[in-house]
Chains A and B, each alone.
Chain A
Amino acid sequence: MNVLLTRRLLPWSTTVGLLVLWQLVCVVLRVDTFILPSPLEVSRSLVQNTGLIMVNALQTLMTTVAGFALGVAAGMALGLLLGTSRTVYDGLYPVMIGFNSIPKVAIVPVLVIWFGIGTVPAILTAFVTAAFPIVVNVATGLATIEPEWQDVLRVLGARKWQILMKIGIPRALPYFFASLKVAITLAFVGSVVAETVAANAGIGFLMMTASGRFDVPLVFAGLVVVGAMGILMYEVFARLERRLTFWAIRSGDLIT
């Protein structure tokens, strides 16, 4: 079979394989539905609750994308600052590490106090989770520019902002896009976590209420939907990356 086709099919076959394994485990070991529903039960629940899931999935998606967009804007701005100013870097980096080490669940209660239960805490949680990898990557991309490339412009009498525009930003783009892929999946983590604690809509909220009713298949259906949305959004940004920074990903192969 041709190599490209194999590479296309591999993720699907792996997924199907894992589902079959899961089903087998449930059937052979007679696992209780309350502990671990089988894939068939989960998909039955998915079909039965399509409307409900759709509404909440859409809510989660909007929340995540909103938080992610904020994260991109803030992450880029902060990354630019950090990557171009030694002072800002030295002053801010440790603080940011500290802030990022705080589990994001822990800030949800604070957000609830400030904004009440609803969409806002979820958006903000997605935002703070997504921003960090973007900041770090953009800053790294800018801070690791080869001095020889800067010399190419410096020798022409280029000003600092020109070096930033002509070399800094193009050079940081691959780092930026790599971080977007991570950031979008983290944004889902942030929004769903917040929804389970402090929302009245969204997949996280749906899972929480389903769990309260011991509707375990629906809880799992929620997990599957979040996972699927994550893969979808990741793919969107992976494609964007391949299109815009093709010069940095030339071989398409990993180190062999």
Chain B
Amino acid sequence: MPSVAAGAEPRPRRKALPADREPIIRLEGASLVYGGPQGVVALMDANLRIDAGELVAVVGPSGCGKSSLLKLVSGLHPARSGSVVVAGRPVTGPLKICGMAFQNAMLLPWRTTIGNVLLPLEIVDSHAARFRRHRAEYEAQARELLATVGLAGFEDKYPWQLSGGMQQRASLCRALIHSPELLLLDEPFASLDPFTREELWDVVQDLWLERRPTVVLVTHDLREAVYLADTVYVISPRPGRVLSRTTIDLPRPRRLADTYKPQFIDVSHALREQIATGARP
């Protein structure tokens, strides 16, 4: 479970992987089109390489195809052309190693908050059998996780009894509960206030430092991208193309005070500039 102790021990930065090592996610010329031949081209000719254990942020203007990129990687939507390879296999359908927080919380209204959080455990093979026998243990884990995002006391409420931001936090817990190898987060902090958001950055960062899943984080917040990511991809307006790849070489664990340091601010500005120029025709 996530340790959220404020002073989580600084861990040595992951050694750079040898260049020839197979990345966990590899997109080559991948395009995603909604609808028939005249459909909407959401993503065009995308090339990406994401290493195992990397924390990647994807930024770009609204409607540029960020959520679509996640659909491609998770196997929820097939590529129209090009190739998508995850964990060494071409993606042909939904994977079994994903945890995903959707842009809309998409909690099930007939389940309580904790019931929603436990849902992946009922599905994912590696947990399902154990979950049935050790329900109490898992439930305690889920409660702990909900507490780390500030939802203690709301476990037994229904989603429609929670605020939008609370639903989003519960949805984040649902993505994390089964410790997925590949974590796909679609603007998970979008409807939160700045303070809660920054607290959750640290929750995610600590959890990532502890378990080292591969994370793809979609966000509109450049500070968030720079704060959390190893690598930031910028996507152009529709039809989305990968415009640039920026490595963020700031030491970890990063702390909020770091966001006011010149190095941090410079990187954020450089990214902003890229998005602004990319948006121009």
Contact = CB atoms under 8 A, between A and B. Distances in A.
The answer to whether A binds B is yes
Given A157-B94, A157-B123, A166-B122, A152 B158 contact: no
Interface stretch (B95-103, B240-248, B264-272): B95-103
Nearest to A156: B123
Given A166-B119, A166-B123, A154 B106 contact: no
B110 A247 contact: yes
A251 to B, nearest CB: 11
A166 B123 CA distance: 9
B192 to A, nearest CB: 20
Contacts of A170: 108, 110
B104 A148 contact: yes
B162 interface: no
B165 interface: no
Contacts of A158: 94, 123
Interface string B105-138: 0101110000000011011110000000000000
Contacts of B109: 247-248
B140 interface: no
Contacts of A225: none
A152 B101 CA distance: 9
B102 A157 contact: no
Mostly helix, strand, loop or mixed at chain B's interface? loop
B261 to A, nearest CB: 37
B74 A167 contact: no
Interface string A242-256: 000101101000000
A151 B102 contact: yes
Contact of B108 (A154, A167, A245): A167
Interface in A122-147: none
Interface string B190-203: 00000000000000
Contacts of B120: 156
Contacts of B123: 153, 156-158, 162, 166
B108 A149 contact: yes
Interface string A153-165: 1111110001000
Interface string A29-43: 000000000000000
B97 to A, nearest CB: 8
B227 to A, nearest CB: 26
A59 B265 CA distance: 83
Given A151-B76, A153-B119, 8 more contacts: A151-B102, A153-B123, A157-B94, A157-B123, A158-B94, A245-B110, A247-B109, A248-B109
6 contacts: A148-B106, A151-B102, A155-B74, A157-B98, A166-B108, A170-B110
